[in-house]
Amino acid sequence: GAVVSQHPSRVICKSGTSVKIECRSLDFQATTMFWYRQFPKKSLMLMATSNEGSKATYEQGVEKDKFLINHASLTLSTLTVTSAHPEDSSFYICSASDSSGSSYEQYFGPGTRLTVT
């Protein structure tokens, strides 16, 4: 149980275009989903926290107009990188928190590698 999927697993886009990444909880309802960014050989950096039906909370230094997050249902959150630039190239990971759990455990998706050319 507690499976989180991400789509696509890899995406290449041209500079100036927008790209959407989906994060789905497959077998549980996730009231809270999280988006992380991971640079090569670095740790995960939390970008934002999204709660179903409300606006996402962004971490300091993360541009909310650049990284649009939507959490329209208890099983789906999307991250849209708008007007992407090469410096946005990175590995993006989502996670989801089981609303019925009490251990603050997060279940992670397999990640999406974004390359902006």
Partner 1 sequence: AQTVTQSQPEMSVQEAETVTLSCTYDTSESDYYLFWYKQPPSRQMILVIRQEAYKQQNATENRFSVNFQKAAKSFSLKISDSQLGDAAMYFCAYNRDDKIIFGKGTRLHILP
Residues within the interface to partner 1 (CB under 8 A) = 32, 34, 38, 42-44, 46, 49, 91, 93, 95, 97, 103-106, 108, 110-111
Cα radius of gyration (the chain): 13
Q: Find out whether 61 and 45 touch, Cβ atoms under 8 Å.
A: no
CB of 16 to partner 1, least distance (A): 27
Among residues 66 and 113, whose Cβ is nearest to partner 1? Answer: 113
CB of 83 to partner 1, least distance (A): 26
Among residues 42 and 64, whose Cβ is nearest to partner 1? Answer: 42
Among residues 51 and 82, whose Cβ is nearest to partner 1? Answer: 51
Question: Per DSSP, what are the bridge partners of residue 92?
Answer: 37, 112
Among residues 6 and 78, whose Cβ is nearest to partner 1? Answer: 6
